Homo-oligomer: A and B are copies of this chain.
Amino acid sequence: MPLHDRLIRALASIAKLSAGEIETISALPLRVVEVEPNVDVVHEGASTHTSCLVLDGLLCRHKSVAGRRQILSLHPSGDIPDLHSLYLSVMDAALGPLLPSRVAFISHRDIREAIRREPGVGATLWRVTLIDGAIFRSWLASVGRRSAHHRLAHLYCEMFVRLEARGLTDAASFFLPLTQIDLADALGLSPVHINRTLQDLRRQGVLAPRGRYYGFDNWDRLQRAAEFDPGYLNLCPPGPV
């Protein structure tokens, strides 16, 4: 699959793209890099003149307060986790891989040029950052007000729906390749509590083991346990862009 297709598919899952827009996006120069876990791609406080497209693997934004890490967002293939650096000069959180991953840097200059030539690209990228915000609101509500069981189930729902919208997975093979430590840092819980909650959810048939990780056998049961409503992801039927 050509590199740009990952981005195109991600964008197509949230907006209608014209032929010209697809062409413009496909022409963006990419600088490809392989990255490993525990080595941040972009550091907190950094000023960049590029944004980072995830090609393969899984990245996250994270920041540490009082010595404790909080994972702020998860970014599978097709995401541009630091697209906001296009208009915010300093990174307020670090960006790092959770798996061995491949990313591509796109210069802000090239992105701005693409937007100038195809204003629709600007609207779509703006929409990307707005959906990013909607996901933050959902996570904030989760961490603030949902139980541990609830939070965990909701995260599995969200990631499945996001991946499926890009054709990157299916229910039979889906699992989240996150360590229990990562899950803890994403959900604002301790690893020990994640461990026990995962066991509960497995016993309840909400989640199901998939090798080292967890997936699900029964989407309805998972969705009900999570009270999951995918509306906030603003997928597919594109809004009035």
Q: Is the CB of B92 within 8 A of A232?
A: yes
Of B64, B122, B129, which is within 8 A of A133 by CB? B129
Of B69, B129, B134, B240, which is within 8 A of A92 by CB? B134
Q: Is the CB of A123 within 8 A of B87?
A: yes
Q: Is the CB of A145 within 8 A of B66?
A: yes
CB-CB contacts below 8 Å: A20-76 with B: 45, 61, 63-66, 68-70, 72
Interface size on A, residues (CB 8 A): 49
Complex CA distance for A188 and B141, rounded to whole angstroms? 8
Q: How many copies does the complex hold?
A: 2
Complex CA distance for A208 and B49, rounded to whole angstroms? 43
Q: Does A227 contact B (CB under 8 A)?
A: yes
Q: Does A89 contact B (CB under 8 A)?
A: yes
Q: Does A223 contact B (CB under 8 A)?
A: no
Known: A65-B141, A92-B134, A227-B65. A239 touches B87 (CB 8 A): yes
Q: Does A231 contact B (CB under 8 A)?
A: yes
Q: Does A172 contact B (CB under 8 A)?
A: no
Q: Using an 8 Å CB-CB cutoff, how does the interface string of A81-107 with B read, 1 for contact, 0 for none? A: 000100111101100000000000000
**Chain B residues closer than 8 Å to A146, beta-carbon distance:** 65-66
Q: Is the CB of B65 within 8 A of A142?
A: yes
Q: Give the 7 A-B residue pairs with the shortest CB-CB distance, closest first.
A: A144-B188, A89-B239, A136-B136, A92-B232, A68-B145, A70-B141, A70-B144
